């Protein structure tokens, strides 16, 4: 069966895959896979079936959405992957400083997590796909498959026969709404506006913490318009019989073209003004006195009644697309105004990421609402029904109680369908589109201290927008790839296949970078954060959970031995001198960032480079951004009630930089919440590592010891596994603690957390953002030099 599946699918997708980097050649014999024809077809492929239907052997539950032309399959699987765990040694009776033992031991363990898989393909391949799924199903725990869409009836018998699962049909609209709510809540940059004159044309919206109410316009064969008020309350408010089916049907009659995507391609090359009667055709130059643009369509197909010439297929297809899109846009706008809604999401097979369609709908909405209503499109609009059907079937597991995150390593990303682009960048009609979502251990929420959560944007620079910065950072990540591969292999010296897995990681991440060069909007707004997160996802994909674990273990041990001396030295200083020394210590600690090439080169070439050497690297005052005098003045006032500190790197940073600063705040009477990553990223300190470090420091310092015992110093996890920081997706427990303790100071340290992200974040309390710029290009862009200092103290306006 696998041969039949391969020959049917690869034959169709090979033209698209030919242009993708990293493809390889595979010979298939015969169209049926039996080899009987003897014809050898040389096909270029990248994804074998088990890379499309990933982890199928551990699939637990299924859902399917079958439309008129596309099938969307959803399934839930358990994923086994490696995680690095740390555990404190028993040091009783030992002089650990003399023994120079590491502060903790590291073990790699297997952990099981949940993942949602979504696959989209043409109905042509449904039987071959069902056969492949049947042959590889092992552990499914359900006897039912939730199904939605018109095809749920058409293919019911086939599905039950092939999969031996009972088909349970779900209401189409309920599934669409559930799916839409899910992606809006869980996928940052899910929604975007389309701006035709921008480069690129997609402008992604920051996730709004309150997604309701909104209008959903689903354009399938016809049009359904639904007002969504809450998770479970929605109302069908209107619709039209003039939709995607109308475009397809009339288009076929006019052009003799039967395929939907071919019609769209014809339309993209047409000139509608050859067929449509425009305002200037009716009024001549007098249209200006009416306040109308001469390019407005006065009558769709108006010229065809009087003209003698034949019209091209392209022009007729373009005119038809404009006519239907304008009609839908006006209808949606009227309903939005009627129900006082300013957000309209468009979905359905008619959209399919096609620029001309989105451009026309956007123009129509803007024109008729005078800019008061916003037309929004969704990256994953094609999956809404399948997601909703899955959620309906999984209600007993309450999937909405969790937060979910897109796994960039296993997702295809949004592709432009612009005809000007090459085949690799066009819509992948007839190919497989993938989306994977990982269940996060804990729910994620906004930081309660954000001044205005709806307007919060984590990232400082939008690389989708900034072509120069995009080119630099993509090249930077490409050049760093050898070092990451080397570090990954070194982190698993006892593994026989580490080098092989590291090469697979290299290829996958390299391919992602090449995709992002061509399609910077593939996963939403492209930022330094998304490049870093994609790299972490690819590392995890090939079982490199923490490539810097040994580096962190060694550096934590060295720094712990230095801690008593650093504290003694600080305690000998006068108050004002000590405050500057503490800040310089924070900054010097932040130099030790293995993610910065300028630093990793120094650390690898000079094993004696330490805390004092880092201090000497720092820019002299005045710093590039220097609010230190204002901070010092504030310290002369009453103590803060509670400080929330987001830590950055392990080793010298957390132990010799952050903890002395924490200790000083505790001595002032300020409670401290120290927040560290839930999972590993680069050499950033994790929550589990911080617990051991704090325990060791408490054994050496009575101030920290008593603060931990009395719960004036609390160590919590952020819910993140990123070198950057998104304050709109933080651990729910951390948010509750911030409210409970009344935090009135937020300290964010590090280039990833305070410069690449959150540099412009507005908080409703005092904040300190500090970092050392360890990238020469970025430093120059900011007006400084390598190792320039950012020390930004902000007080919210009254």
Q: What is the pLDDT of residues 165-185, one digit of tens each?
A: 899 999 999 999 999 999 999
d(CA 53, CA 128): 12
pLDDT tens for 655-702 read 999 999 999 999 999 999 999 999 999 999 999 999 999 999 999 999
Query: In 304-394, which ranges are continuous DSSP H helix?
Result: 313-338, 355-369, 384-393
Q: What's the CATH number of domain 191-275+311-378, 3.30.420.40, 3.60.21.10, 3.60.20.10, 3.40.190.10?
A: 3.30.420.40
Q: What span, in angstroms and rounded, lies between the C-alpha atoms of 722 and 529?
A: 8
CB count within 10 Å of CB 113 equals 14
Alpha helices in 125-243 (DSSP H): 126-136, 151-154, 156-163, 172-186
User: Residue 277 pairs with which residues in a beta bridge?
Assistant: 299
In this structure, which CATH number among 2.40.160, 3.30.420, 3.30.70, 3.30.1380 belongs to the domain 49-88+100-185+386-440?
Answer: 3.30.420
Q: State residue 477's pLDDT score.
A: 96
Q: Apex CA 127: angle with CA 124 and CA 131, to 5°?
A: 145
Q: What is the CATH number of domain 456-540?
A: 1.20.1700.10
CA 175 to chain centre: 23
Classify domain 549-794 at the CATH topology level: Rossmann fold (3.40.50)
Q: What is the pLDDT of residue 20?
A: 29
- pLDDT tier, 748 (very low <50, low <70, confident <90, very high otherwise): very high
Q: Could you give the C-alpha distances from 272 to 206, 248, 284, 326, in angstroms and in order?
A: 35, 17, 18, 13
Flag whether pLDDT at 594 surpasses 80. Answer: yes
Averaged pLDDT for residues 219-246: 93
> For the residues 616-631, what does the mean pLDDT come to?
97
Query: 605: how many CB neighbours lie within 10 A of its CB?
Result: 8
pLDDT in tens, 469-504: 999 999 999 999 999 999 999 999 999 999 999 999
What are the structural domain ranges in the chain? Answer: 49-88+100-185+386-440, 191-275+311-378, 456-540, 549-794
Burial of 322 (0-12, 13-18, 19+ CB in 10 A): buried
3-class DSSP assignment, residue 478: helix
Q: Which residues contact 487 (CB under 8 A, 6 or more apart)?
A: 547, 548, 551, 594
Q: State the pTM of this model.
A: 0.87
Q: How far apart are CA 45 and CA 22, in angstroms?
A: 9
SS3 state at 9: helix
Token code pair at residue 46: 């990248």
Measured on CA atoms in the order 328, 331, 335, 340, is the torsion positive or negative? positive
164 HSE (CA, 13 A, CB side): 7
Q: How many CB atoms lie within 10 A of CB 433?
A: 21
């Amino acid at each position: 069966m696998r041969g039949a599946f391969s020959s049917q699918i690869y034959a169709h997708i090979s033209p698209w895959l030919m242009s993708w980097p990293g493809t390889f050649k595979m010979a298939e014999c015969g169209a049926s896979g039996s080899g009987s024809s003897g014809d050898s077809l040389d096909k270029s492929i990248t994804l074998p079936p088990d890379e499309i239907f990933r982890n199928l052997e551990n699939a637990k539950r299924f859902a399917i959405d079958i439309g008129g032309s596309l099938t969307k399959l959803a399934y839930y699987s358990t994923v086994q992957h490696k995680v690095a765990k740390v555990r404190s040694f028993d040091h009783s009776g030992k002089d650990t400083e003399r023994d120079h033992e590491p502060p903790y031991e590291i073990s790699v363990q297997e952990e099981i997590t949940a993942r949602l898989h979504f696959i989209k393909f043409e109905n042509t391949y449904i039987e071959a796909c069902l056969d492949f799924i049947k042959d590889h199903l092992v552990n499914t725990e359900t006897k039912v498959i939730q199904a939605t869409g018109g095809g749920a009836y058409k293919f019911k018998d086939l599905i039950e026969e092939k999969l031996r699962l009972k088909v349970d049909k779900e209401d189409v609209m309920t599934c669409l709404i559930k799916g839409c709510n899910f992606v809006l809540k869980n996928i940052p940059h899910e929604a975007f506006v389309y701006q035709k004159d921008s480069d690129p044309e997609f402008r992604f919206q920051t996730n709004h913490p309150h997604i309701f109410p909104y209008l959903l316009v689903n354009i399938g064969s016809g049009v359904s318009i639904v007002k969504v008020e809450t998770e479970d309350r929605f109302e069908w408010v209107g619709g039209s019989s003039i939709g995607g089916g109308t475009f397809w049907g009339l288009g076929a009659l006019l052009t003799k073209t039967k395929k939907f995507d071919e019609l769209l391609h014809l339309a993209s090359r047409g000139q509608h003004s050859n067929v449509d009667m425009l305002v200037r055709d009716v009024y001549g130059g007098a249209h200006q006195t009416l306040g109308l643009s001469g390019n407005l369509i006065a009558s769709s197909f108006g010229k065809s009644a009087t003209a003698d010439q034949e019209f091209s297929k392209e022009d007729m297809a373009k005119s038809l697309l404009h006519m239907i899109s304008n009609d839908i846009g006006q209808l949606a706008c009227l309903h939005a105004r009627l129900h006082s809604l300013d957000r309209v999401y468009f979905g359905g097979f008619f959209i399919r990421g096609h620029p001309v369609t989105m451009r026309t709908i956007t123009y129509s909405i803007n024109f008729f609402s005078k800019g008061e209503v916003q037309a929004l499109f969704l990256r994953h609009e094609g999956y809404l029904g399948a997601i909703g059907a899955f959620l309906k079937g999984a209600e007993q597991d309450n999937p909405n109680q969790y937060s979910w995150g897109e796994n960039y390593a296993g997702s295809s990303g949004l592709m432009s369908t612009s005809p000007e682009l090459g085949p690799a960048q066009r819509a992948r009609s007839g190919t497989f589109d993938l989306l994977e979502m990982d269940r996060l251990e804990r729910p994620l929420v906004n930081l309660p201290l954000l001044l205005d959560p709806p307007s919060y944007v984590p990232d400082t620079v939008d690389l989708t927008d900034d072509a120069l910065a995009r080119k630099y950072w993509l090249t930077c990540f490409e050049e760093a790839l050898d070092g990451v591969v080397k570090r990954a292999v070194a982190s698993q010296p006892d593994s026989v296949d580490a080098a092989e897995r590291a090469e697979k990681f290299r290829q996958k991440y390299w391919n992602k970078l090449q995709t992002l060069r061509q399609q910077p909007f593939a996963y939403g707004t492209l930022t330094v954060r998304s490049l870093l997160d994609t790299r972490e996802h690819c590392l995890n994909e090939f079982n490199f959970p923490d490539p810097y674990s040994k580096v962190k273990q060694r550096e934590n041990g060295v720094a712990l031995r230095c801690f008593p001396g650093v504290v003694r030295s600080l305690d000998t200083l006068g108050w004002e001198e000590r405050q500057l020394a503490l800040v310089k210590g924070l900054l010097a600690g932040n130099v030790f960032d293995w993610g910065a090439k300028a630093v990793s080169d120094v650390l690898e070439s000079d094993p004696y480079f330490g805390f004092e050497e880092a201090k000497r690297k720092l820019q002299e005052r005045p710093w590039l951004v220097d609010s230190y005098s204002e901070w010092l003045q504030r310290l002369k006032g009453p103590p803060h009630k509670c400080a929330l500190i987001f830590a950055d790197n392990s080793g010298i940073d957390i132990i010799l930089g952050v903890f002395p600063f924490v200790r000083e705040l505790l001595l002032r009477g300020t409670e401290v919440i120290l927040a560290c990553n839930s999972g590993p990223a680069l050499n950033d300190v994790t929550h589990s590592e911080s617990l051991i470090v704090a325990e060791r420091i408490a054994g050496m310092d009575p101030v920290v010891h008593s603060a931990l015992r009395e719960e004036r110093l609390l160590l919590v996890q952020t819910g993140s596994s990123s070198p950057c920081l998104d304050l709109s997706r933080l651990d729910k427990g951390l948010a509750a603690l911030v409210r409970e303790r009344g935090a009135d100071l937020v300290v964010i340290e590090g280039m990833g957390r305070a410069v690449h992200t959150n540099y412009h974040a507005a908080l409703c309390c005092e904040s300190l953002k500090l970092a050392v710029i360890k990238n020469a290009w970025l430093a120059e862009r900011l007006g400084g030099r390598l190792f320039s200092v950012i020390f930004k103290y902000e007080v919210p306006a009254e």
